[in-house]
């Protein structure tokens, strides 16, 4: 099953986070070069005493200018996820052993047309797993001032998910989500840039996790997210400081604050080193109950013991290194660690007994412009 | 009392041994001894190993000379004979030849030609195998025996016994989903075993508690192909050469894992698997074709 966060909003945010979009000076004309990139992403998480989940995912990305004012881009990703999740059990007994591997294929494509003072992009995405299919369409419009120092962005996305554990608990269930985004990016003096985006996500349908023993969630979810980014060029080091703060207000009451800081440091030999640190504090969903499983279950009321809906604080230190090579080649490698604890939550530990959770992921990428 | 978990790979799968013991070193030694025996059994009976007993027996199929076997192999053959009788021939140690017609890894997936399956069925016949306590002979060239259906469960039982012989009183052995316990956990609570959901990776559809007993799970999701919307899994009925589809998975509790594994496989092969197990008096958890739990 995919993660609980709304996919459409993530897609829009990702569209606006694509290279070249953050700094408006580049985004206003159609790209004149194509880009092809190959990435490999390796993720593993664990809890004390047990390994849980691994994801390995190679992906391919392509951006191609079709004309002076039209470009197309797309990516394809193939995830292999495997692992056991002995949260409440000592071990698992299954025909293939302690866990099975599930595969997910996903792809997205987008067409963007550029005009003198605005651009419009239309895109679609598809994701398929054995029991979960997701399709979405998105449209975004950007417009900028004559001096290109300010850009306004508007976006709409619609996602339809089909959940079909065909011979399981959930048969022919659906979920629909609509996402809206408004944002502004402003170039400030002295090499600084500020961006603020407001996204609203409205979803209705089947949210339960049909494979968990007790799990019944509300049939709707509304999420308001406000993200503000601030980038500052620091001439003394020829580096850029990136700061961001995101606040999420959620109808399930799993509100969260995320603070992120990164330092982009160019080095000799065409290298760029970026250390980063992120902190998130999330409140628990109103229907979340911590261990033991079944604690607080009331017939007819929503209930979930999914740790992703618990109250916790999490810290992610990361390090990323990129190198430019001749002829438009570049390569990068990044590594992140994540540690989550109930006691790191702002306002104290609301979920006693929640197991600590750790994860690590690394990614490798190779890219060529043509 | 601390709980020590040892994970290891063997027989192309992930396994684990969990031991409740005050002395970490003693727990480690016991686990290492158990793991060594699992490796020994794999080397001895794996059909993928050139120097295994299984390969030696299969290579001599159709020749005049019988192959000498030791007491352990003879015991396994005696057990296989019982399985054959109890299942009215559905469980047959010589049915591994069907693997040559059923390729579950082929892309795109395709069903074998009925003629190919029928030809291979000519080579299946446990009752024709000549064997006794000291030797075995497969009468026709092309015949094979395959311990794959009982080897892992047998190894799990042996591993548990080895742990006990090292003084361990609270342990759990899980070899690729086949579980055998030694006692309960140190505080007296049973070991909680989650049963993997047949249609969702890493998720659980039910659970069983064990204190000294064993559980084995057989399922249609370990290896399968889907053709025209229908699933064909690797559990083949030796009498027909074709897969069964009465259940998505079967988990059976028995005093030893070897028995649990056989009962789980037998239940999968029978449309009345639940009645069969109830009649035999064993605790079980079956998942039917529609994904419903039957206990």
Q: In sequence order, what DSSP letters do the residues of A21-85 get, joined into one string?
A: TSSHHHHTS--SS-EEEEEEEEEEEEETTEEEEEEEEEEEEEEEE-SSSEEEEEEEEEEEEE---
Q: What is the per-residue pLDDT for B87? A: 80
What is the mean pLDDT of the segment spanning B78-91? 85
Report the CATH number at residue B108. 1.10.3980.10
pLDDT tens column, B189-206: 899 888 888 887 667 788
C-beta atoms of A97 and B202 within 8 A: no
End-to-end CA distance of chain B: 33
Please give the mean pLDDT across all residues of chain A: 83
Whose structure tokens read 């005009």? A115
Whole-angstrom Cα distance, residue A341 to residue A351? 10
Q: Are A122 and A111 spatial neighbours (Cβ–Cβ below 8 Å)?
A: yes
pLDDT at A86: 43
pLDDT of residue A85: 45
Q: What is the DSSP letter of B236?
A: B
Mean per-residue pLDDT for A316-323?
96
What mean pLDDT do residues A179-207 have?
92
What proportion of chain B, given as a percentage, has pLDDT over 90?
47
pLDDT at A3 (0 to 100): 39
- What's the pLDDT score for residue A52? 66
Looking up residue B198, the CATH number of its domain turns out to be 3.10.520.10
Q: Is residue B158 part of a domain?
A: no
A window 163-182, beta carbon within 8 A of B: 165-169
Question: Of A134, A196, A183, A117, whose CA–CA distance to A156 is shortest?
Answer: A183
CB atoms A101 and B201 under 8 Å: yes
**B181, B182, B186, B191 alpha-carbon torsion, rounded to 10°:** 10
Flag whether pLDDT at A5 surpasses 60. Answer: no
Instruction: Give the C-alpha separation, A307 to A291, whole Å.
Output: 10
Side-chain half-sphere CA neighbours of A269 within 13 A: 5
DSSP calls for A112-130:
EEE-SSEEEEEEEEEEE-S
Nearest-Cα distance to chain A for B77, in Å, is 23
State both tokens at A183.
Answer: 């944002």
- Indicate the number of domains in chain B: 2
The whole-number average pLDDT for the span A334-346 is 91
Label residue B140 by pLDDT band (50, 70, 90): very high
- Residues from chain B contacting residue A92 (CB–CB below 8 Å): 174, 177, 193-196, 204
* Whether pLDDT at A51 is above 70: no
pLDDT reported for residue B170: 94
Residues 6+ apart with CB under 8 A from A333: A320, A321, A362, A363, A364, A365
User: In this predicted structure, what is the pLDDT of residue A83?
Assistant: 59
Dist. CA A313–CA A264, nearest whole Å? 25
Residue with tokens 């391919």: A60
Nearest to B195 among A1, A49, A93 (CB): A93
B265/A contact by beta carbon, under 8 A:
no
A contacts of B202 (beta carbons < 8 Å): 52-53, 82-85, 99-100, 102
Q: How many Cβ atoms from other residues are within 10 Å of residue A92's Cβ?
A: 25
- B229 within some domain: yes
Distances (CA, A) of B136 to B50, B62, B238: 18, 12, 21
Q: pLDDT at residue A214 above 90?
A: no
Angle formed by the axes of helices B257-269 and B71-86, to 10°? 30
Task: Give the global pTM.
Answer: 0.60
Which residues does residue A59 pair with via DSSP β-bridges, in sequence order?
A39, A77
The reply to whether B130 falls in a domain is: yes
State whether B136 and B217 are in the same domain. no
Give the nearest partner residue to A212 out of B5, B203, B217, using CB atoms. Answer: B203
Residue (of A140, A193, A141) closest to A25 by Cα position: A193
What is the predicted pLDDT for the residue at A152? 95
Q: What is the mean pLDDT of residues A32-57?
A: 80
Distance CA A199, CA A10 (A): 10
* Bridge partner list, A323: A271, A331
pLDDT for residue A14: 43
pLDDT confidence bin for A170, thresholds 50/70/90: low
List the 133-152 stretch of B: residues with Cβ below 8 A of A: none
Residue A88: what pLDDT?
57
Could you give the dihedral angle defined by the CA atoms of residues B101, B107, B109 and B111, in that order, rounded to the nearest 10 degrees?
Answer: -30
B5/A50 CB distance under 8 A: yes
Strands B13-20 and B171-175: antiparallel
pLDDT at A353: 72
How far is A174 from A167, CA to CA, in rounded Å? 16
Specify whether the CB–CB gap between A215 and A170 falls below 8 A.
no
What is the pLDDT, as a whole number, of residue A300? Answer: 81
Question: What residues of chain B, 43 to 102, have a C-beta less than 8 Å from chain A?
Answer: none
Sign of CA dihedral B53, B54, B56, B61: positive
Question: How many A-B residue pairs are in contact by the CB < 8 A criterion?
Answer: 131
Q: Is residue B171 part of a domain?
A: no
CB A212 within 8 A of CB A304: yes
Residues B107, B198, single domain; the answer is no
Q: Is A298 on the interface with B (CB under 8 A)?
A: no
Q: For testing the chain A interface, which of B19, B193, B202, B235 should be mutated: the one with the most A CBs within 10 Å?
A: B202
Residue B244, CA distances (Å) to A42, B226, B236, B292 in order? 37, 13, 6, 17
Residues B284, B200 share a domain? yes
- From B3, B178, B194, residue closest to A86, measured CB to CB: B194
Please tell me the distance from the alpha carbon of residue B33 to that of residue A368, in angstroms, as a whole number: 53
Among B143, B178, B204, the domain boundary falls at B143
Domain assignment present for residue B26? The answer is no
The answer to whether residue B110 sits within a structural domain is yes
Three-state DSSP at A257 gives strand
B151 assigned to some structural domain: no
Higher-pLDDT residue of A231 and B48 is: A231
Are B198 and B135 found together in one domain? no
User: Which residue, B39, B36, B44, B52, is CA-closest to B12?
Assistant: B39
Greatest Cα pair distance, chain B, in angstroms, is 60
d(CA A212, CA A54): 19
What length is written for chain B?
Answer: 295
Instruction: Give residue A50's pLDDT band: very low, low, confident or very high (50, 70, 90).
Output: low
Higher per-residue confidence, A317 vs A147:
A317
Residue B247 has pLDDT above 90, yes or no: yes
Q: Taking 80 as the threshold, does the pLDDT of residue A22 lie above it? A: no
- Whether residue B134 is found in the same domain as residue B194: no
Could you give the C-alpha distances from B169 to A25, A139, A317, B149, B258, in angstroms and in order?
70, 64, 43, 28, 21
Residue A213: the pLDDT is 62
Check whether B150 has a pLDDT greater than 70.
yes
Cα of A179 vs its chain's centroid, Å: 15
Residue B159 pLDDT more than 50?
yes
From chain B, the residues in CB contact with A102 under 8 A are: 200-202
Mutate: best of A82, A94, A132, partner B, most B CBs <10 A: A94
Best residue in B189, B194, B246 to probe A by mutation, most A CBs within 10 Å? B194
Evaluate if residue A98 carries a pLDDT over 70.
Answer: no
CB-based contact B216 A86, cutoff 8 Å: no
3-state SS, residue A323: strand
Tell me the ipTM for this assembly: 0.78
Mean pLDDT of A43-70: 81
Look at A167 and B196 and tell me if their CB atoms are within 8 Å. Answer: no
**Does B196 lie in the same domain as B104?**
no
Q: What is the DSSP letter of A350?
A: S
| B289 & B195 share domain | yes
Cβ distance A367 to A333 under 8 Å?
Answer: no
String of b and e for A256-293 (b: at least 16 CB within 10 Å)?
Answer: bebebebebbeeeeeebebebebebbbbbbebbbbbee
Token code pair at residue A117: 């003072």
For an interface test with A, the pick among B104, B201, B254, B263 (most A C-beta atoms closer than 10 Å) comes out as B201
Residues of B in contact with A83 (CB under 8 A): 201-202
Q: Which of A74-83, B142-151, B189-198, B239-248 has the lowest mean pLDDT?
A: A74-83
Classify residue B288: in a domain, yes or no: yes
In the stretch 77-96 of chain A, residues with CB closer than 8 A to chain B read 81-86, 88-96
Yes or no, beta carbons of B191 and A91 under 8 Å apart: yes
Put simply, whether B168 touches A (Cβ < 8 Å) is: no
Contacts of A81 in chain B (CB under 8 A): 201
* SS3 label, residue A288: strand
Residue A197: which H helix or E strand, with range?
Answer: strand A192-205
**Average pLDDT of A221-226?**
95
Task: Say which residue the tokens 């002076």 belong to.
Answer: A68
The per-residue pLDDT for B249 is 93
* pLDDT value at residue B241: 87
Residue A148: the pLDDT is 84
| Helix ranges, chain B (H) | 24-45, 53-59, 71-86, 114-121, 151-165, 257-269, 273-280
Q: Of A282, A267, A357, nearest to A5 (Cα)? A: A282
Query: What residues make up the domain containing B259?
Result: 190-294
Cβ B204–A95 below 8 Å, yes or no?
no
Q: What is the pLDDT of residues A245-273, one digit of tens each?
A: 999 999 999 999 999 999 999 999 999 99
Q: Which candidate from A51, A82, A92 shows the least CB-CB separation from B194?
A: A92
**Probe site for chain A from B192, B204, B205 (most A CB atoms < 10 A):** B204
Residues B139 and B195 in one domain: no
**Average pLDDT in the A288-301 region?**
78
For residue A6, pLDDT over 50 is answered with: no
Q: Which two tokens stand for residue A304?
A: 């979930």
Mean pLDDT for B175-199 is 89
Q: Which of B114, B143, B172 is the last residue of a domain?
A: B143
Which residue, A358, A363, A286, is CA-closest to A332? A363
Residue A211 is nearest to which of B192, B203, B216, comparing CB atoms? B203
């Amino acid at each position: 099953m995919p993660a609980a966060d709304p996919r459409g909003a993530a897609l829009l945010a990702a569209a606006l986070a694509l290279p070249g979009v953050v700094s408006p000076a580049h985004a206003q004309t159609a790209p004149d070069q194509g880009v092809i990139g190959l990435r490999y992403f390796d993720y593993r998480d664990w809890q004390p005493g047990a390994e849980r989940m691994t994801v390995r995912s190679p992906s391919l990305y392509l951006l191609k200018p079709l004309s002076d004012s039209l470009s197309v881009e797309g990516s394809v990703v193939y995830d292999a996820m495997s692992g056991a999740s002995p949260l409440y059990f000592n071990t698992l007994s299954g025909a293939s052993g302690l866990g099975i591997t599930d595969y997910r294929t996903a792809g997205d494509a987008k067409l963007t047309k550029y005009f003198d003072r605005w651009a419009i992009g239309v895109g679609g995405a598809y994701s398929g797993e054995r029991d979960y299919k997701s399709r979405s369409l998105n449209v975004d419009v950007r417009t900028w001032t004559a001096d290109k120092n300010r850009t306004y962005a508007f976006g709409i996305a619609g996602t339809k998910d089909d959940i079909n554990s065909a011979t399981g608990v959930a048969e022919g269930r659906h979920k629909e989500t609509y996402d809206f985004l408004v944002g502004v990016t402003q170039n400030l003096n002295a090499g600084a840039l500020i961006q603020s985006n407001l996204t609203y996500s409205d979803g209705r349908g089947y949210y339960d996790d049909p494979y968990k023993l007790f799990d019944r969630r509300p049939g709707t979810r509304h999420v308001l997210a406000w993200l503000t980014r601030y980038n500052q060029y620091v001439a003394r080091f020829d580096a850029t400081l990136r700061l961001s703060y995101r606040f999420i207000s959620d109808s399930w009451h799993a509100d969260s604050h995320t603070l992120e800081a990164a330092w982009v440091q160019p080095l000799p030999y065409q290298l760029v080193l970026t250390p980063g640190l992120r902190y998130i504090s999330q409140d628990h969903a109103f229907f979340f109950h911590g261990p033991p499983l079944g604690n607080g279950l009331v017939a007819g009321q929503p209930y979930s013991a999914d740790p992703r809906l618990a109250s916790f604080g999490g810290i992610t230190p990361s390090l990323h290194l990129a190198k430019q090579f001749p002829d438009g080649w570049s390569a990068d490698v990044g590594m992140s660690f994540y540690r989550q604890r109930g006691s790191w939550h702002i306002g104290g530990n609301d979920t006693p007994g929640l197991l600590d959770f750790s994860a690590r992921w690394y990614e490798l990428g190779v890219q060529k412009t043509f | 009392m601390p709980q020590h978990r040892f994970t290891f790979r063997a027989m192309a799968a992930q396994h684990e041994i969990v031991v409740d013991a005050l002395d970490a070193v003693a727990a480690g030694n016991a686990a290492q001894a158990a793991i060594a025996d699992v490796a020994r059994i794999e080397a001895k009976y794996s059909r993928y190993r050139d120097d295994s007993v299984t390969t030696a027996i299969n290579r001599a199929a159709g020749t005049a000379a019988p192959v000498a076997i030791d007491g352990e192999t003879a015991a396994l053959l005696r057990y296989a004979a019982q399985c054959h009788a109890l299942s009215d021939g559905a469980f047959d140690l010589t049915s591994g030849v069907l693997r040559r017609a059923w390729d579950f890894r082929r892309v795109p997936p395709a069903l074998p030609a009925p003629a190919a399956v029928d030809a291979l069925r000519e080579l299946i016949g446990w009752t024709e195998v000549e064997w006794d306590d000291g030797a075995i002979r497969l009468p026709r060239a092309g015949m094979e025996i395959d311990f794959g259906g009982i080897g892992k469960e047998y190894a799990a039982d042996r591993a548990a016994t080895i742990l006990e012989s090292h003084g361990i009183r609270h342990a759990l052995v899980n070899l690729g989903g086949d579980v055998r316990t030694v006692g309960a956990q140190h505080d007296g609570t049973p070991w909680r075993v989650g049963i993997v959901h047949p249609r969702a990776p890493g998720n659980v559809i039910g659970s069983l508690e064990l204190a000294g007993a064993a559980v084995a799970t057989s399922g249609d999701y370990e290896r399968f192909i889907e053709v025209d919307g229908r699933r064909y899994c690797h559990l083949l009925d030796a009498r027909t050469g074709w897969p069964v589809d009465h259940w998505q998975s079967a988990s059976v509790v028995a005093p030893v894992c070897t028995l649990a594994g056989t009962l789980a496989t037998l239940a999968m092969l029978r449309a009345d698997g639940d009645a069969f197990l109830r009649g035999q008096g064993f605790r079980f958890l079956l998942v039917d074709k529609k994904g419903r739990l039957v206990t």
